[in-house]
Structure 1
Amino acid sequence: MVERCGNTVSAHESSAVRLGAALAGFARAGRDKVTFLLSEKIRALGPWLEQLLAESLGKDGKGVVPVLDEPPGNPAVYGPDRLFVALTLEGDRSHDAALDALAGAGHPVIRLELKDPLDVAGEFFRWELATATAGAILGVNPFDEPDVARAKENTARLLAQWTRTRRLPQWPAVAEEDGIVLMAKAGPKPASVAEGVTTHLAQAEPADYVAIQAYLEPSAEIRRPLQAVRALLRDRLRTATTLGFGPRYLHSTGQLHKGGPPSGLFIQITGADKEELAIPGSGYDFSTLKTAQALGDLEALREGGRRVIRLHLLGKPAQTLQQLLHLLRAATRKL
């Protein structure tokens, strides 16, 4: 890969430069939702690609939105803001039918084939150079993360407040329904959680995306209903959807959320922790730290003019997420 993309070949011959030029060109043309499909054996490469693109390019109101692990859908549910990128192993035909259907429906599809799982090492080189190329074309510096600091500063301030008062500020609860508390700081008070969420989602424009930020255990039983929520919102709104578990996403897609295109509709989901584990020498526990990080990011998003609501789950998260799914199925019929 170094020989095929290094400084011994021209930009025209470099697969990395061509890939970066394609990412930037499609983004400029409105196709900035880079939707990945990966072979199962190299699926773990996805989160690295997500972080690389989001953190490097999402700034100055520009960038691309990496869409990872979104449930597959009919080509008709995807809008004209999509670019599909498939990284598959030689001999893996599991995505061929879907990719052919997407291409047949007019969606651009980039296919990269690896001969062996160990070839992901070469992909690190290709994608890093491609990202730097895309940054140069888009006019952003891919080597900094200026907007991540805002959430960190907010978190530090909130933790200092906790140390002094043993309390953290909370967003106002404006509605409660089926074990779900809606918290928001904008607009008139809704009559129910369903009405509040519907009002939030009704803001979606064709080129927007819905970002679910879940401060919950990233287990299979939690991920399943959240994936179902993604598929529902994607199909009803025809918008791309992303899912990040907090606080991890703060250092993967957090820069994009606050510094990238203002096209995100954010839904932060929180719940009570099963246990509290003290952090030695800090004066607070991990649960308090996580809560401060969630609140700090909420404030940073609001300060940046982003559209965001918070849903707090009162019951067992997996069961309450099923309630949320039922609520959304009914509420989004009106959209």
Structure 2
Amino acid sequence: MTSVVTAGGISVTIRGAVVDESETVLDRLVSDGVPGSLTSRNAKLWGPDAAPLAARRLGWLDLPETSRSLRDRLAGPAGAAAGLDRIVLAAAGGAALAAEAICRKAGAELTVLDTTDPHEVSGALSGDLSRTLVVVADDGVEADSVRRVFGRAFSEAGLGGAEAAHRFLVVADEGSDLAHAAEEAGHHLVLAEPDVGDRFGALGARSLVPAALAGVDVDALLDEATGFAATLRQPYENPALALGAALGSSALGVRDKLVIADHGSGLAGLAGWAEQLVAGAMGKDGRGLLPVVVESADAPGFELADDLRRVILGRRPDEPGAGREAGVSVAGPLGAQFLLWEYAVAVASRVTGVNPFDAPDVRASRESTEALLRSEEGAAPTVVRRPPELVEDAVEVHAPEDALRGARTLGEALETILADVPGGGYLAVLAYLDRSGDAAAAALRPLLAARGGKVRRHPAPVTFGWGPRYLHTAGQYHKGGPPNGAFLQITGAVTGDVPVPGRPYSLGELQLAQAFGDLRVLRALGRPAVRLHLRDRAAGLAQLAAALA
């Protein structure tokens, strides 16, 4: 059985058993009047406890129209920054991922720094500073550190106080500490929407400002969203409601993993943005739907299993080839897809009974990191002094006592890790490395997925995330979702550290504190977690790949 819902430039195709499972949920959503209530910004849709926060987080529904004023709001700062055509975005979470996806679709240059890796930040610092404008779109430790590091770099490049200050544009809520700090420092300031959170703000100022400065026609993106927005109130022929029902029914049942593969959509980065939205909004209270982004429909881990729901991005319903058997296919332009997924996830969260707008479990890792940075000896000694359970050439294996069960080689240790994933669970690879210089780390996901198929009768899904990026994306699910995850964290030696001006730590120490802080939280929750430390990053990654090949 196949159901195809097409409207507003979006096509959602649902196949097989998913149709029957989601139709009951869809009928209930329609009978409850959810389409009209959501588009009318009814904050009570997720229960009384969620209503106060939801009332301050539903502005994303209006962004296709309200963001039209962005051109005027940006005119002054953009004019003052004329000639600065190398845009660096210091942000985290949904804003960073949406801006990255928008610029990749448009072919615009944007350097996204949602990291504390000193190698990656040094690479950005080595670019042409005479052309560089830094957009700061949140007040987290990553963005704050990047702002401080670039401030020093501008000063060392000979820029005076006012000139250096004008190399920063801050996007912040009116009256926030970040806005006040920007005004005091003399930075350009663009006010963000007061009722839009980061997770659902793909069409808001935090994402569109850096994209617009990078040369993207954001009005065209908003046109795509506007063309789709009219369908959201409809009880039928509503692709977003159909997708929300499919996601919600999956999360209620045994298929609590959402495997996402791109099949020629031309929307590079959309899957990563959707991952943060689905995991962050739905992964809490022991419930959720885990997104598993794979490289293609042919990649290890995409094959059908009882606990997997598979989504193809970009496929037409009548198109032959790999992935045709996926349970859900989604096609349409990027602006409309942002709105599609936000609406669908809000609906699915109502189905599962969670508040999509909070992040109750993200705070634990942040507080653990802060405690390490306040410790008397600092973060780095706390981590390094613990001896590894196994050392093989460039790779150290750090694990709780007896976790490796006598493994004598790196290959045996990796097989033990795969074998110990809880039944019905997943393995998450968390790489605190350089996304550019250590890009080979991402290739470990399909290698682990393929090896898992040989180690286990029913191989576990394998996800991959860059640290600390994942803390603001799937990190909420890892701590707040179903307790069936296992974790393989990867850290690497730092050969050129970067001090953080005004802070008693370097980027390398901060990065290691974030890694170890999250590891402590995961282990405190009883999650199996092993850390691999690469004494030499390139050699260690090659060694891991060889051990898994």
- When the two structures are superposed, what TM-score results if normalisation uses the length of structure 1? 0.85
Matched, 1:36 2:260: yes
Deviations 1:233-288 (A, max 9, x none): 45334221111011111111110111111121210011112311111000111000
Alignment partner, residue 52 of structure 1? 277
Aligned to 1:148: 362
Q: Which residue of 2 aligns with 1:235?
A: 453
Cross-structure match for 2:419: 202
Pick closer, same or farther for the CA change 1:279–1:226 going to 2, 3 Å: same
List runs of 5+ in structure 2 lacking aligned partners: 1-227
Q: 1:165 to 1:197 in 2, by over 3 A?
A: closer
Residue aligning to 1:322: 542
Note the C-alpha offset of 1:200: 2.5
Q: Tell me by how many angstroms 1:84 deviates.
A: 1.4
> What is the rounded CA distance, in whole Å, between the counterparts of 1:109 and 1:164 in structure 2?
49
Q: CA deviation at 1:181?
A: 0.8
Structural mapping, 1:62-73, within 5 Å: 62-70=287-295, 72-73=298-299
The higher radius of gyration belongs to 2
Q: 1:49-87: CA deviations, max 9, x gaps?
A: 010001111111110111113452479954211111122
Name which structure has the greater RCO, CA cutoff 8 Å, separation 6+.
1
Q: Alpha carbons of 1:310 and 1:92: their partners in 2 closer, same or farther (altered >3 Å)? A: farther
- One-letter amino acid matched to 1:187: D
Return the letter of the residue paired with 1:113.
A
Cα distance in structure 1, aligned partners of 2:460 and 2:250: 17
- Give 1:99's match in structure 2, choosing from 298, 307, 323: 323
Code of the residue aligned with 1:292 in structure 2: it is A
Is the contact between residue 394 and residue 539 of structure 2 (CA under 8 Å) also seen in structure 1? no
**1:3 lines up with 2:230 in the alignment:** yes
264-273 vs 200-209, greater mean Cα deviation: 200-209
Per mean C-alpha deviation after superposition, the further-off stretch among 138-147 and 187-196 is 187-196
Out of 168-177 and 54-63, give the one that drifted further: 168-177
Between 319-328 and 246-255, report the one with greater CA deviation. Answer: 319-328
**2:526 is equivalent to residue 302 of structure 1:** no
* Structure 2 equivalent of residue 176 of structure 1: 391
**From 183, 187, 207, the counterpart of 2:402:** 187
Q: Check if 1:110 corresponds to 2:335.
A: no
1:326 maps to amino acid: A
Name the residue aligned to 2:337: 123
Over 3 Å counting, the alpha-carbon distance change for 1:215 and 1:178 in structure 2 is same
> What letter corresponds to residue 544 of structure 2 in structure 1?
L
Q: Which runs of no fewer than 5 residues in structure 1 stay unpaired?
A: 330-335
How many residues align? The count is 313
Following superposition of structure 1 onto structure 2, how do residues 265-304 of structure 1 map, counting pairs within 5 Å? 265-304=486-525
Task: Report the AA paired with residue 336 of structure 2.
Answer: G
Alignment RMSD = 2.6
Cα 1:86–1:196 change in 2 (3 A) is closer
Q: Distance in 1 between matches of 2:356 and 2:496?
A: 39
Correspondence 1:216-227 to 2 at 5 A: 216-219=433-436, 221-223=439-441, 225-227=443-445
Displacement, 1:230?
3.6
Distance 1:176 1:290 in 2: 22
Counterpart for residue 465 of structure 2: 244
Cα distance in 2 for partners of 1:76, 1:51 equals 19
Compute the displacement of 1:227 (Å): 4.0
Task: Quote the residue 2:483 is aligned against.
Answer: 262
Task: State the match for 1:333 in structure 2.
Answer: none
Match of 2:432 in 1: 215
Partner in structure 1 of residue 249 of structure 2: 25
* Counterpart AA for 2:328: I
- SS of residue paired to 1:232: helix
Residue identity matched to 1:167:
P
Within 1, Cα distance between the matches of 2:446 and 2:413? 20
